[in-house]
Structure formats: structure tokens, C-alpha cells
Amino acid sequence: MIIACHQPVFLPWSGCFYKALNVDRLVLLDEVQYGRGFTWMNRNRLKYDQGELWLSVPVRKKGKGLQKICEVEISYDRDWPRKHLESLRQHYGHAPYYDEHRHVLEELYRQRLEKLVDFNYVILAYLLRAVGISEERIILQSGLQVHGRASELLIRICQKTGASHYYAPSMSRKYIDADLFNKHGIEIVYYSFTPPIYPQLYGQFIDNLSFLDLLLNCGPKSGEIILRYNQ
């Protein structure tokens, strides 16, 4: 079995889906620390006629101190779900596959989930299904009951899931203790990812946007496009 790990970010970029397309299980690291500064956990980029369109999910931080990702609560003090949906309608209403996904996205936003990780999970699960990847391929770290730091944590996740191979981006070589993986009989499979170029709305192409931009523009061919750019 081969696994990969990824943090449960909001509206992930295409690199997350490339991982999911190439492994047996994708483990979401929801028990690591939630970042104090800029973080992709609650924001990501789409596109509109003026360039990058940022969508952010407000979270409760005041008085919380250091939190694990799985502990972070969403704030509904403002009606941000309505604003997100309106932004998607306004800026993606003419995208080729917007109507195909509109009703599901509206339903996901209207659930008013308490925890950020739950909201990010249901969106990720839907986006994965849209490219033919079963939700059963996703595992939450919190469900495995494993702890640790850095390579030690990754090895314990591999052991708990029965994985013989760990799928890791090439840029992570300097952070991974390869000797420790080898000691435990786990092979690291390094990969490089090239973000795909595809038809977008609004003129000049912007790379590394949320996968949702690719999906709304290219529909069921999105997974194939990702793989084609990374043969």
C-alpha cells in the first residue's frame, strides 16, 4: 500500500488531487498545529476579471491559544457563506461546468458545520468524487490515533495504515529522515508535480489556483488534465 499525507486545507490546489490519484490512501493531518500566521487552512485563491479572487472562512482564534487543526471552530458572526456563493455565481456563472456543481456547492455551504476540518473535509470529498476518487480513500489522522512529529509521525501513520510506501514531494527531501524510514522498512517514493495549464476565464492564465477553478472550467476531464501534465 502507498499513502500520502496532506493538511486539510480549504479548497485545495491541484497538487493535492495529484497525490490522491497516485496513492491508495490520503491521510489528512488534522492533529498538527494550526498556523498562527498565514495559512491555507481557511483560505484559497480562485479567479475573477481583476485577477486573483481570495475566499476566506472566518475562524475563532481569540482566547484559543495554540490549537490543533481539528479544534479550530468556524465563525458565523458574518454571513460569509452567502458571500462565497455569490462570488462563485458572479465570477463562475459562465464557466462550462458551473451549473453541474452549483447545487451541491450551495448545499455544502448551507450545512453550517462547526469545525473547519469538517467543512474542508466535505468539500474535498466532493471534489475528489467529481474526478472519480472514492471518499473512502481519505483518512483523518485523528481517526488513526497516532501522534509524533516530523518523520516519526509519518512513519507511525504508515505503520498504522499498513503502508509499505510513502509518497512525498521531491522538495520535502531535506525535511524527511530517509534513514529512519529505511530502518522501519518503508520506502519513500519522491515525485515532482507540474501544475497543469488549462482553459480559464478572464484572459491571462493564473497558475496554482484552487482545484475548483480547474473543475468548473474543465469538468470530469480535470483529473486527466492533471495526470497528462505529470507523465
DSSP letter string, 135-185: GGGEEEHHHHT---SHHHHHHHHHHHHT-SEEEEEGGGTTTS-HHHHHHTT
Q: Do the Cβ atoms of 106 and 85 come closer than 8 Å?
A: yes
What pLDDT score does 190 carry? 97
Average pLDDT over residues 220-228: 95
Angle, to 10 degrees, between the axis of helix 14-22 and the axis of helix 211-218? 80
Average pLDDT over residues 166-178: 95
Angle, to 10 degrees, between the axis of helix 116-130 and the axis of helix 14-22? 70
In 95-140, alpha helices (H): 98-109, 116-130
What pLDDT score does 87 carry? 98
Average pLDDT over residues 16-27: 96
State the Cα angle at 138 between 218 and 206, rounded to 5°: 30
Q: pLDDT tens across 43-76, in order?
A: 999 999 999 999 999 999 887 788 999 999 999 9
Q: How confident is the model at residue 231 (pLDDT cuts 50, 70, 90)?
A: confident
